[in-house]
Every structure is written in structure tokens, then in C-alpha cells.
Chains A and B, each alone.
Chain A
Amino acid sequence: MESVIERIEKGHFWKFHGGIHPPEMKFLTKDKPIRPLAMPPELTIPVQQHIGEAGKLIVKAGDVVKKGQALTQSLMPLSVPVHAPTSGTIRAIENAIIAHPSGLSELCIKLTPDGEDKSIARHITPDYTSLSKHDIIEKIAQSGIAGMGGAGFPTHIKVNTHAQINYLIINAAECEPYITADDLLIREHSTTIADGINILDHLLEPAFILIGIEDNKPEAIKALQKATANNDKVKICILPTKYPTGGEKQLIMALTGKEVPSGVLPSKLGIVMQNIATCFAIAEAVIHDIPLTKRVVTVSGRALEKPQNVWALLGTPVEFLLQQCGYPEQQRKHIIMGGPMMGFSLPNTQVPVVKITNCVLAPSEQEIPNDKHEVECIRCGQCADVCPSQLLPQELQWSAKANDQQQLETLNLFDCIECGACAYVCPSHIPLVHYYRVAKAEIRQQKQLDIKAEKAKKRFEARKARLEREKLAREEKHRKAAEARKARMNSGTEQANKEKSAVAAALARVKAKKAQTSNTENVENKELASDQQDKKSQVAAAIARAKAKKQAAVQESSPAQTESQPPTPENNQGDENKKAQIAQAIAKAKAKKQAATSQDTEVENHEELNEAVKVAPVDDKKARIAAAVEKAKAKKQVAPEKPSELDTDKTEETAATNSPADDKKARIAAAVAKAKAKKLKEKNPQSAPTTVDASTNEEQEKEVAITPPLEASEEKSAQALDKKARIAAAVAKAKAKKQQAESK
């Protein structure tokens, strides 16, 4: 450490890699005193002017504010408030274009000055040492001070470090061409700056204070030497002019020979850096209780008639500054906020001056031409020679154009400080920095997406693990409960025996039920078991009858004839009208179905079904059952190639639920339908549709010979329902068997 100071005292400094010597152009403004400006007609104060979070608004449109009154409140550590630069009325709080390369709009407070410039009460503290460190830091924070060199990092965070500070470096390099704001500020306010430096000294207690200043500011150097003569810690380091000496890492390298490792804050090395304009603001805030509401802005460029430095209130539109410096209409081509190396183009002149605005540049067309014709890179390597971060700009450029993010990170893209030296020297006029900015943004975006995806994956895996865990726990619980039960049952107590028998009974019941369900296919069994044999048998009979008719119809194989037949039984039986009607409907439908080939569409079948329903309007329930049965059958017929048992079952189920009162009947019908469906299904897959039809017809012919007489006798003996039912069932069974045999 001793050697560092010795070297500095000898005026020997380190060299950082690269750097360029662009035309300084500082002569345009360096000899003009800082001019206070008239009050602009309106101030546009962006709520956020620093890095970090915006403060919370504490005023609203229409409020009357005084100079120095806080307009926002900082609630988070990384936020600083903004203040009213003058007294006036808040006209509106709305979005306006802010000083940012994106040209995006953000929330701004529009303040109309009243011209009185009335200030809030100030508490001047001539002796800052009477304040505690905490109070000073609080004052700095409440005064809205953020780094005025360009980045706008909240100052109170930087000065509130607990690290042992060896070097407090004051950055007065001002290496960008054109800008003389700091130069003039030092010349005119060196004592206030010295106060600010002393306050920082008091807060940070560094071993040495190094003021880095380029040798192109001799008057400022003299002023600083004079103002800081009483502080032995202060060393004024006069550095050779080279861009970008004012870069934080470059200045640290030049003054101390230390490299700040990538991704590490300088405070880790015991170094804190503050801009010289920030020192002025600190002194103003701590001693004079004046918040940061104005700053020195260099308004320069050959397009202006009177380039100069001005005291601009924060929020002053650039247009107002340019007017004050004479900006002829025909020269209006290009406005840059900041220097020519790192500044950004403004989309219009309404953009306000903010805390980090050190320069507004209005170059003439000859000065900064807009004729950047990018040509192919010839790998000349001049970019690598001037890069202060020792990157390989041309290789970065290849990778950026190829969007090779992995390679970009290997080449340390994120160590690029965007100083623009590479693009400045590029003979092919490649906007290198622009490519890097785009690549950086893309990588950041990709990283965010990756983080999101990673989070989603974690969430999913956590959920899976939880479900698995719960399942295991549940199983474990069940197993334990079962074991406990078993143990209890086997314990031999009376209660256990009871439980055992109860379980056994339950099991028996379940078995019985199962047996019953399996028997539903057997119509006979079911009929015997059921209480309402009447109804059931009626349905069965109807089905049987319908079948008979259907067979007859098939024989005639003419839909017209089929339709003419049904009325006969209807007339004959007065009492059983209803039944007959249903039967008729079913029969009709079946007949049609049979007549139709396997190519029949479902639509047709539905139509037929509808007809059937119309014919049998009297007994709704029964009809519905029949319809359901029919539907199921029809469906099966239509799609014999790909029969879906599941669908059929569903249809049957629906039919059953449609007639809750006639549950049993429905079930019987369903069973019958199911049986038939099975038969058909068994048959169909084995032979081509035409063959199926042929065989069915043949068989049905046989049936017809037997069935009609039976049917007739049944109908006449209306009382012997039992028998009828049984016969019907038998018929169904027989048919089923025949069909089965046939199919085999």
C-alpha cells in the first residue's frame, strides 16, 4: 500500500489496457461559466431517476408544492425520493418520455412553476461532525442523491459500507469528449466539493482519498489542490487524458494498479468511488439542507449558437435548454443525452434533464455524420487493441451475429462496459456496442426464462413427491388399520367374533348381489326373482312379439309392407292396446333395421326410432324403454365393424335411468338388448356384412314359423301372464342359443 501512495506522489500511475483518444471538443464550453437558467414554463420530473426502485408518490395532481419538497417517499433501501425543484402547482402526474435509450414513457410529475421559487424551511448544519453518521446517511438518502456520473446508483448505499476502506476515489476524470460540467463545477465550487469530500471522509474513514482527474483540466486541478490543501489524506492524481479513464474499473486500475474481479464490488478491495458532482450534492444536502434538484449540464455541439454549461433544474425539458443556447431550426438533426461515446439519442426535445444528465449534445451533421455504412469485418483487431476490458470485440461480434450465447459468455460478454472504444476505431464501421447490447438483452431474457422453467420443474417435482408421499402414507395407514382390525378379530373376544361374523355376512351379501347381477342376462331368472312379474313379462312379451313381426317384415323385405302389418294386432286387442303399441313400435324399428343393410347410417335409424316413438304415444315409459333398446341395437347394427361394448352399455344405462319407475322392466329390456348385441357382435366379425345378413335372414325365417302361433295364444290368454313371460324368455333364450350356434 505504501508503494501505491509513493507511486502516486511521484506522479506514476498504472496503465489500463486499450483506450482511445477521440477529439476532445471540450474547448466549446470549457471557458464559459455555469449560467443559471430562467425558469422553464413546466418541469417534467420522472418519479424514477436512479438505479433501483422508484419511490412512492406522496403528491397528487393539483397539489401546491414548495421548492425542495419531497414528491416521492423512499420505502425501500434502493430507492431515493425526488423533490420539487421550485414552488408551483402539480398539473398532472402522467406518463411521459424519459431520458432512457429505449425512449419509453414512464410516470412523471408535471410541475407548473409559480415563479416565486418559495422554498420549504431549511435546517443548515454548518458543522456536519455534530451529526451522527446515521443521520448524515439519512440526510443523503432523503435528499435524493444518486451517482451523478452516469449510472445513478443511490449514494447512501455506497457510503453505508461496513468494509474497511483503504481508498476513497473521487472520479473527476470526465473523459468523455465535449463534457465540461464537472470541470466547471470544480472551478466554481471547489470549496463545497471539498466539504463533500470531507463528509465522505468522515463517513467512510478511508486511509487515502484519491482524486482522479485528467490532465486536460489544469484550472480545475489548481482549484482542487487549493481547496483540499488542509486534508492530508487527499492526493490529487493527474492522469493522462485517455478515454475511458473515467470508467470505474479503469480509474481504479490507473490509480491503484488493482483489478476489480469480475462480478465483485470495489468495496471488497477496500475501494469506494464517488463522482465529483456527487460530492457537491452531498455537501449541499448535508450542510445546506438542499436536496438534489439541479445540476450542471453541458449543452454543447456545433449545431448550437452558444454552447455552454448551465445550472438546469431537474425536470427541465431539453428543448428549453437548447433554446437558451440557440438551436436553429435547420440544424435540428440529432440530439444526444450524455457524451458522444456513451450517450443515447433522444427521440424528441421534450425529454427532461434528470440526475444523471451531464450533457446534452446537439452536433452538426459534419460533426457526427449519420452515414454509418457497416461493412464486413476484416479482423483487423484494432477493437481488441483499444478494449479496456481486454475482450475480443470482433469475436464477440461474430458470436453475437450467430446468436451463440454460450460462446458469448465464454468470451466474457458481460465484462463489456459498453464504452464504445471498439466501435469508435472500427474501420468497417460496425456498431459493435449495439450488437453487444442486443446480445446481452437476449441472454438476460433467456436466463429469466431458464429460471422460470427451473422453478416450474421444481414445483412439478415437489408436487409429484408430495403425491407419492401422501399415497405411501395412506397405504401405510390402511395397512396399519387392517392389521389392527385383524389383530382385534383374531383376539378371540366376543366382540371380535361378532365383527367376524358381521364381515362374513357382508361378504355373503356382496356375493349374492354379484350373482344376481351376473344373472341379469338370463331373462328367466330375473323374471322369477322380481316382484312385479306383470310388467316385466309384458315387456318381454312385447319384445318377443316385436321380434316375430320383424322377422315377418324381413321376409317381405319391403318397408311399406312392414308398416301396413302392425295395425292388425292392435285392433284385435282392446285391453292390451298400449302394450301392443309399444310392441308395434319396436317391431317397426327392428324391421326397418333388418331390412337395411349394414351400410345403413345411424341417422336413418334414428329417424326410424322417432317414428316408432310417435306411433306409441300412450305409454311413455314403456316406449322409452323400448326405444332405448332399439337405439342400442341400431347402433350396434350400424357399426358392426367396430363395435364398442362400452358405448352400448352406456346407452342401455341411459335407457334405464330414463325410466326410474320401471327400473326392473328396463333392466330386463336392457338385458335382452345386451344379449342380442352380443350375439350380433359375435357373428359379424367372423363374416362379411352381406354374409351376415344372409345368414340372419335364413335363420329368422325358421323362427317365424314357430313364433307367430305362440304369440297369438299368448295374447288371447291375457291372464296367464306368468306363462307368457316365461315363454317369451324361453324364446329369447332359444334365439340366443341358435344365434350363437350359427355364429360358431
Chain B
Amino acid sequence: MAYWIASSPHNHIQGSTPALMRLVIYATIPGILAQWYFFGWGNLIHIGLALTTALVAEFTVLSLREKKVAEQLFDGSAMLTAVLIGISLPALAPWWISVLGALFAIVIVKQLYGGIGHNPFNPAMAAYVMLLISFPVQMTSWQPPLALMSIPLDFSNTLSVIFTQFTFDGYSLEQLRTHVDGYTMATPLDTVKTNITLGLTISESMNNPVIGEYVGEGWQWLNAAFLLGGLFLITQKAISYVTPLSFLASLFICSLIAFLVSPDSNASTLFHWFNGATMLGAFFILTDPVSGATSVKGRIVVAALAGFLVFIIRKFGGYPDAVAFSVLLCNMAAPLIDQYTRPRTYGHS
């Protein structure tokens, strides 16, 4: 009789990497729901497009690389990347934006670097930055919250805009983005940035309808939903609280200092926290273990650096949001940070 021979330890937690990835995908659901509620079907359609593209691309590359397709295709990592791309794109961007983004993320950023576990950059954010630089018009044409839109947008019309750039009634994206008062609506971050260059103070900007009641119509709830999903991940021990805490604290400190120095030209901390991709970045992007630092200390440093960069780019950079850029910059810095943040081994001084 032959007995199993195995190396210790023999028992093992029930969790696995695919399960972890699935959990993270589930945690995005509140955010996606908020997006759907405030911005319509756009992002859901993009998530669908990105998912399909990502799975096809993953399947093709895995087959070419003669990997175990069945095992790796549904390990959740490609799906998570696709979901994150779908979430982060402007809701009414043309269909090829998400297809191109997913292709780039999977084929170039992930698989060409060696596949899961080997990519130095976060695939979703690298794809986002590539799209933003290559197609600035499409990537900055953000759809305003449904509540502010003069032309109602249902599922079929959204689909039509994404695939043909026009609704069934012939409205273009530009017309959709136009406020009843006749000006094009932008994201709160964009609005504040533009207003500052126009010489308006923050408090004046806060009266803009896109800001809404608190710090950003729609966007604030979107961020709150991602915060909720992130907290769920922390309670499930899928991610460590260290990275989001460090990132948000860093952003908090930077924006608070700026706000205290000049309240007229700097938005409040809450505005920074609940606008753009802050919460998504804090809980779903920066916590990507593959492209981040490995030690706890390293993660604190990386996340703090990301928070600082987000603030700097939002304040002084040419782009209204900065999470994707700062994440990529931190990915680059992570190996070096790892080098200098090794924990002290027990028994060593």
C-alpha cells in the first residue's frame, strides 16, 4: 500500500488565490450599484465589454504560453482587472475604449510580463493611463449624474451612445453632457480645477450643480460605496487595513495642510476623499499585492507616497484626477521601497 508523501505543513487554510480574487470582485458590487444608480448603465456595459475582451485575451495568451488554461482562466485575476477597468472608464466612452483597455491590460501589462504574480504594474491602472494619454477626448468626456441630465438616458440609449456615439433620438455625447443652463458639465474635480484657473474660489465652485449637496453629486456616494466594499474586504481579511489607512491618511494630511494654508484655492479634505477614484484606489487598486510592496512597512510607505502624489497631481498637475498616475509611480518605486523596509528578523539586531 502506498501512502501519500507530502511535505509539512499538512493542513492548510481553505482559502485560495481564486477565492480571494472573487471576494474582491464581490466587494466592488456596492460601488458598481452606486455607479448604476447615479450614472446609469454605462459602466455596466463597459464592465461587460472589458470582461469579455479580457477573458478572450487571457485565453489566447494562456494557450500560446501553453499554460493550464482551465485553471488560470478563471482564477479571477483577469476578471478583476476587467471589472476595475470597466468601473474607472467614463460611462459613455466608446466601446473600443474598454476593449482596447482590457486587451492592453491583459496582453501587455499582465501576460507579457509573465502572467499572474509577475506584472510590475497594476494592469487596470496601466491600461487606464494608456487610454487617457492616447485618447484624451474620449477619456475625459465624463457623463454627469443622471439627476442633472436634461435628456433622460435609459439602457438602450446608453448602449447606442457607446456603440454609435448617438442616442436613438440623435443626441450626441456632447449634448448629453450639456446642463439645462447650456454649459457642459464636468466632474467635480474638473470643475474645481477649471474654476481655480478662472479665478474663482473654492466656495464659489461649491455652488456648482455638479458638486451638489455635499462634495460631488453622485461621486460622493460612489466613493462611499467603494469605502463600504473596502471595509468589507478588511473584515474578511482579504486586504490589510494598512494600505488604505496610510493612503487616506496621507491624502488627508496633504489636503488639510493645503486647505489650512489657503482655503480659497484648496478643496477640503472631504472633497478629496470622496471624489474621483480615491476610495477605489485606496481599497481596490493600491491593495493589489502583485505590484505593491511586500512588507507591512513597505506598504505603509508606498500608500503614503501614493496619497501624496494624488494630492500633488490633483493640485498642480494637468489632469483633474491622479489615482492612476500615482499608482503607477508607486508601482515603480515599490521594489526600491521593499529593499529598504525589510523587517528585522527575530534574533537579529
Contacts and interface: CB of A to CB of B under 8 A. Distances in A.
Interface in A258-272: 259-264
Given A345-B3, A345-B4, A345-B5, A389 B346 contact: yes
B94 interface: no
B318 interface: no
Contact of B292 (A260, A379, A388, A421): A379
Interface range on chain A: under 10, 10 to 19, 20 to 34, or 35 or more? 35 or more
A347 B6 CA distance: 10
B343 interface: yes
A415 B345 contact: yes
A372 B347 contact: no
A412 B9 contact: no
Given A376-B118, A394-B294, A23 B348 contact: no
Given A332-B3, A348-B1, A379-B117, A384 B349 contact: no
B116 to A, nearest CB: 5
Nearest to B7: A434
Interface stretch (A425-433, A488-496, A563-571): A425-433
Contacts of A500: none
Contacts, number: 159
A423 B7 CA distance: 10
Contacts of A384: 294-296, 343
B346 A381 contact: no
Contacts of B8: 338, 340-344, 418, 420, 423, 433
Chain A interface mostly helix, strand, loop or mixed? loop
A551 to B, nearest CB: 82
B348 A262 contact: yes
Interface string B4-23: 11111111110111011000
B71 interface: yes
A423 B8 CA distance: 9
A352 to B, nearest CB: 16
Query: Interface majority SS on B: helix, strand, loop or mixed?
Result: loop
A17 interface: yes
Contacts of B118: 376
B6 A370 contact: yes
Given A345-B3, A415-B346, A427 B296 contact: no
B264 interface: no
B263 interface: no
B290 interface: yes
Nearest to A391: B345
B282 to A, nearest CB: 17
B188 interface: no
A556 B295 CA distance: 100
A428 B296 contact: no
Contacts of B117: 376-379, 428
B292 A427 contact: no
A332 B4 CA distance: 10
A333 B17 contact: no
Nearest to B6: A345
A348 B11 contact: no
A191 B269 CA distance: 66
Interface string A177-211: 10000000000000000000000000000000000
Given A340-B9, A420-B8, A420-B9, 18 more contacts: A177-B11, A249-B347, A253-B346, A264-B347, A335-B3, A344-B7, A345-B4, A375-B16, A375-B116, A377-B117, A378-B116, A384-B294, A392-B295, A415-B345, A423-B9, A427-B13, A427-B19, A429-B12
Interface of B: 1, 3-13, 15-17, 19-20, 71-72, 75, 77, 115-118, 240, 289-290, 292, 294-296, 299, 342-349
Interface of A: 16-17, 22-23, 103, 177, 249, 253, 259-264, 332-336, 338, 340-349, 361, 363, 367-368, 370, 372-373, 375-381, 384-385, 388-392, 394-395, 411-412, 415, 418, 420-421, 423-429, 431, 433-434, 437
